[in-house]
Homo-oligomer: A and B are copies of this chain.
């Protein structure tokens, strides 16, 4: 598999998210992608491990907030071949991908790369890897912007959708179709129609393209940003590259890659991501990824249960978590905090975090 495409293949793992939905385990300095929510390793490390045999380990770039560079380096451990790129300030995914494009072009003008996410759980690795490999191969040979749509598991109104059009190419068992349109998060009824039609997939934020082709797309749709990419890519050394980013980022437009490029470009193709995929958007979503007992309790860590059903319990912080006679709870131990939340009220956690932010003494917990 170590062919010509492999040696030009890169991967950008987008690891800039800062969710409050996994509080208290996730905090600003320890967001979801740094947590080992399932699978034993931090999600960002799992995202790298998934790339084995797809891109060379030293061709992996983790794009994240400046404040997370050190925590991620610490997770990787010394001598890890992957690189970590800290965005000087948050300017959404278009700017992050532009910086990554420049970083890659400095190394290999012929590069083809995939953009992946650090905070999703993905299964069926052989399928996932084959899709990436076929995408990298096709994108190295064709001026297309490829995206991986997720086969909808249910009519979710929590995702954007991608409508596929006519067939484009099939390679190694992976069929790519032209994209008809990107659509925003629909209401429940529209989502149902989308899923029934069979034409729509979830927009997962995973892409594949040649570096020169995404730069070309920036030139067409965001010429100013394309100019910056050329400047950054011409930086004489790593220090100059970092300095150029630090200088230019604050003035960049804050816009997603979908709005800036994907919804406008005419050369977008999509393939169906037929692997298991979950964005684990909140505590209740974790249930499917933890060991479940006969009473449907999903637990992690040092937990004792008696007469307890359908709870999600994340033990830890060096303590025993004991549940007696309770049902439908999320119980989470984090450094200095215990959260007890009804599963169906998990969306209220954000409001509690917001309230706690009002008290400076709570900062270490947030």
Q: CB-CB < 8 A to A329: which residues of B?
A: 326, 340
Residue A82 at the chain B interface, CB threshold 8 Å: no
Instruction: Give which listed residue, B306, B339, B344, contacts A348 with CB less than 8 A.
Output: B306
In A40-87, the 8 Å CB interface with B consists of: none
Total copies of this chain within the assembly: 2
**Those of A292-338 within 8 Å (CB) of chain B:** 304, 306-307, 317-327, 329, 331, 333, 336-338
> Does A167 belong to the interface (CB within 8 Å)?
no
- A333, A342, A351: residue with the most chain B Cβ atoms closer than 10 Å: A342
The verdict on A345 contacting chain B, using a C-beta distance below 8 Å, is yes
Q: Is the CB of A306 within 8 A of B337?
A: no
> Are A348 and B320 touching (Cβ within 8 A)?
no
In angstroms, Cα B340 to Cα A333, docked, is: 12
Quick check: is A355 within 8 A (CB to CB) of the other chain? Answer: yes
Q: Which of B306, B336, B362 contacts A318 (CB 8 A)?
A: B336
Contact status A340-B322, CB under 8 Å: yes
Chain A: interface size category: 35 or more
Interface string of A335-366 (1 = CB under 8 A from B): 01111111011101101100110000010010
Instruction: Let me know if A323 and B337 touch, CB within 8 A.
Output: no
Contacts of A365 in B (CB 8 A): 320
With A and B bound together, what is the CA distance between A345 and B365 in angstroms? 31
Max count, chain B CB within 10 A of own CB: residue among A24, A326, A344:
A326
A337 touching B324, Cβ below 8 Å: no
17 A-B contact pairs sorted by A residue (CB < 8 Å): A24-B322, A304-B352, A306-B348, A306-B355, A307-B345, A318-B336, A320-B365, A321-B337, A322-B339, A323-B340, A324-B339, A324-B341, A326-B329, A331-B338, A331-B340, A338-B338, A340-B340
